[in-house]
Amino acid sequence: MQQLVDRILKEGKYLGNGILKVDGFINHQVDPQLMNEAGKAFAEFFKDVGATKILTAEISGIAPAVYTGQHMNLPVVYARKRKPVTMPDQVLLTLAPSHTKGRTVELIVSPEYLAGGEKVLIIDDFLASGATILGLVRLAEIAGAKIVGIGALIEKIFEGGRASLSNLNVPIHSLAAITSFDNDEIHFD
Annotated domain spans of the chain: 2-188
Task: Report pTM.
Answer: 0.94
- Per CATH, the architecture of 2-188 is what? 3-Layer(aba) Sandwich (3.40)
Query: If pLDDT is split at 50, 70 and 90, which confidence band does 109 have?
Result: very high
CA-only gyration radius of the chain, Å: 16
The span from the CA of 173 to the CA of 178, in Å, is 13
Averaged confidence pLDDT in the chain: 94
Instruction: Give whole-number Cα distances, 55 to 3, 63, 113, 115, 145, in Å.
Output: 24, 12, 10, 12, 11
Examine the pLDDT at 98 and tell me if it is beyond 80.
no
